[in-house]
Chains A and B, each alone.
Chain A
Amino acid sequence: MLRFIIRRVLIAIPTILLVILATFVLVQAMPGGPFDAVGQKAMPEHIRIILERRYGLDKPLYEQFARYVLNIFKGDFGPMFRQPGQSVSDIIGQTFPISIQLGSMSLVLGFAFGIPIGIIAALNHNGIIDYVMTFLAVVTISIPVLVLAPLLIYVFAVQLDWFPVAFWGAHPPFFLGFIPRIDQEFVSHAVLPVFTLGTGSAAAIARLTRAGLLEVLSSDYIRTARAKGLRERIVIVVHALKNSLIPVVTILGPLLANLLTGAFVTETMFAINGIGRRFVLSIGEREYFLQTSLVLLYGLLLIGGNLLVDIMYAWVDPRIRYD
């Protein structure tokens, strides 16, 4: 297992390097530069040259890239061009904890609702509850985030006025770097975005849990467990549940990717200052280092998440060996 993890991490390093190299070249190849304009007017030529030299943009691309990568190991992700006095590390430090809060809460919501609903549906197999829940799960999966967000905002924030329409209610410093103080402001701001991002996951998890549990319940060892007279609850909780969750683990990888995509929309629509919204905002900018660093961050999240899924997979299903 350890060898497997080490090998995966070793493979990840060139992958990440290639990804950020591609991004770095791509953003620099875009027409225009960060210092082309000051306000509405064109930047005077000599000032532009001085500014570009100040940030090392006049150097050859490979030299810039090498310096960027070396600086990353010192925790320096490069400067921001249009926000003097702030570095990319500062921006990530402000936005990343918020995205982590949103993403992890949505994931928790997905499991907290998805697994019980899936179990209830499976236990009522072909009953009315089962049909209603399976149908609702498909309907929920089919509501795109960008439809759900305005719907929730309009109903619960504009009409009913229960929750604020936008923004995020957590303020640094955070405990352990990302855990905020749970107060009324935080919770009221979090309800709608977390619900927006989490319901799709909940429905997907519910469907998988139901399918997994049905599969397991028809297997021989469950029949044996029932035959020796165990109570139904013990059969379900002790024997069936763990094995039925194996397919649920497989969806964690795609789920993580979905959360990242969904976060682009959710953070943009709720004006939450997370990395998704910052990335969308940076699209029209020429913040080379910010854009590359955000892609780097996404890459690390994806690779880390997939590795975690593989490890969990081996943990819930002992038949799986990675050597």
Chain B
Amino acid sequence: MTPEKKLEALVNDGNAEEYGRGRSPGQDALREFRRNKIAVIGVFFIAIVFLVAIFAPMLSPYDFAQQNTYNNREKPFTGYDITTDYAEENCHWYDTPLEWGCTVFIAGSDALGRDLWSRMIYGTRVSLSVALVASSVSVLIGLTYGTISGFAGGRVDNLMMRVVDFLYAVPLLPIIIMMTVYFKALARQGVTTGFMGTVIYLNKSTGGLLFVFVAIGALNWLAMARQARGQVLSYKEKEFVEAARALGAKDGHIITKHLIPNVIGPLLILESMAIPGYIFYEAVLSLISLGVDPPTPSWGAMINEGYQTLRSNPHLVLFPGVALFLTTLSFNFMGDGLRDAFDARLRGRK
């Protein structure tokens, strides 16, 4: 299509104004992203999961840690035999015992008689906070490291990149597993003083998540650092940086005002593609009992508890498994959509 014809088509669509004014790359990308139906569905689902995580106490019919030995391993949609005063205390006004929300295990109950549905709802908190915090940790370390390395250049850059090369050759997951084991062993011993004491207190107040965050963040900043360095290297030779320098801008100003805003975009896209991996790592760590501390519910830990009775109670794996799968899928859809939208090279080709 020639430009004239394109303009004509746009006039007919009533979009001529937009065409003439020109759009920023960000607006372009947003348009492209909105056109990608699957990516939008992904974002929509993630938004729902976020809401579920925020309003978990209102949405879950029971306390996630409440055990009930009379009703362990109930099948989904089976009745809840109220033999204790539990329901009277914990059911909300809108799920009075007549309603199924408070009389029935929607997703069944696990080996300790805990309501699986409530545990799944609270499990969103673990997965999403891993997705958010671990990716922030990874971006923060990677961005800082890569920017410093790329900006400094020369010998500093060389040395810093050798460190990254070194870490690439380290089998990080086994080492992180060992570190987590070490921290957990210390935590069990009840160290309360000094730096370790603080760390252990923090870990306890996050339900054992701190080590998971640290582990996953430490595992994944390397790619971010390389990307950031590469971007900084190319941007710091650009004219606008030279102009800023000619106007007398200090290094700190150039980094924060000119380099980082340009670098952060691609980095965030790279990060969004990595989020499914983080959720997976958390689940794996929880699967081998190194993730969250019980009774905090995590989908990985629930699968771990459930698959041991897979033959008789498949629902114990099915529900957290489906939740994990759908969340991962949505993040993948979103990441792919973002990449396609921001990568101008791919635009129009699809």
Contacts and interface: CB of A to CB of B under 8 A. Distances in A.
A26 B182 CA distance: 7
A260 B171 contact: yes
B287 interface: yes
B174 A279 contact: yes
Given A142-B328, A143-B325, A261 B182 contact: no
A18 B171 CA distance: 12
A213 interface: no
Contacts of A160: none
A139 B333 CA distance: 9
B169 A27 contact: no
B288 A280 contact: yes
Interface string B157-179: 00000000010111101110111
B310 A154 contact: yes
Nearest to A303: B169
B328 A144 contact: yes
A261 B314 CA distance: 25
Interface in B313-350: 314, 317, 321-322, 324-325, 328-329, 332-333, 336, 349-350
B189 interface: yes
A146 B181 CA distance: 21
A141 interface: yes
Interface string A109-140: 00000000000000000100000000100110
Contacts of A126: 350
Contacts of B280: 144-146
Nearest to B191: A31
Contact of A23 (B175, B276, B284): B175
Nearest to B306: A150
Given A12-B169, A142-B329, A298-B174, A150 B181 contact: no
Interface string A304-320: 00100000000000000
Contact of B333 (A29, A30, A138, A143): A138
Interface string A15-38: 100110011001101111000000
Interface residues of A, number: 51
Contact of B288 (A142, A149, A268, A299): A268
Contacts of B178: 23, 26-27, 291, 295
A303 B169 CA distance: 6
Contacts of A153: 307, 310
Interface in A257-290: 257, 260-261, 264-265, 268-269, 279-280, 283-284
A107 interface: no
B325 A31 contact: no
Nearest to B223: A254
Contacts of B279: 144
A283 B314 CA distance: 27
A77 B96 CA distance: 64
Contact of B325 (A22, A23, A147): A147
Contacts of A135: 38
A187 interface: no
Interface string B288-299: 111000000000
A32 B186 CA distance: 10
B284 A299 contact: no
A29 B288 CA distance: 21
A230 interface: no
A269 B321 CA distance: 14
A151 B306 CA distance: 12
A27 B180 CA distance: 11
B330 to A, nearest CB: 8
B263 interface: no
B169 A299 contact: yes
Contacts of A102: none
Q: Pick from A12, A146, A294 the residue with the most CB of B within 10 Å.
A: A146
A302 B166 CA distance: 12
A306 B236 CA distance: 31
B317 A150 contact: yes
Contacts of B314: 150, 154, 158
Given A23-B175, A147-B324, A150-B310, A306 B185 contact: no
A144 B298 CA distance: 15
B284 A19 contact: no
A186 B81 CA distance: 47
A139 B322 CA distance: 12
Contact of A31 (B169, B189, B307, B350): B189
Nearest to A29: B182
Contacts of B325: 142-144, 147
A260 B276 contact: no
A284 B185 CA distance: 9
17 contacts: A19-B170, A19-B175, A23-B178, A31-B186, A135-B38, A138-B332, A146-B280, A147-B321, A149-B307, A150-B314, A150-B321, A153-B310, A268-B288, A283-B181, A294-B174, A298-B173, A301-B171
7 interchain residue pairs of minimum CB distance: A298-B171, A142-B329, A147-B321, A142-B328, A150-B317, A150-B307, A295-B174
Interface of B: 38, 166, 168-171, 173-175, 177-179, 181-182, 185-186, 189, 276, 279-281, 283-284, 287-290, 300, 303, 306-307, 310-311, 314, 317, 321-322, 324-325, 328-329, 332-333, 336, 349-350
Interface of A: 12, 15, 18-19, 22-23, 26-27, 29-32, 126, 135, 138-139, 141-147, 149-151, 153-154, 158, 165, 214, 257, 260-261, 264-265, 268-269, 279-280, 283-284, 291, 294-295, 298-299, 301-303, 306
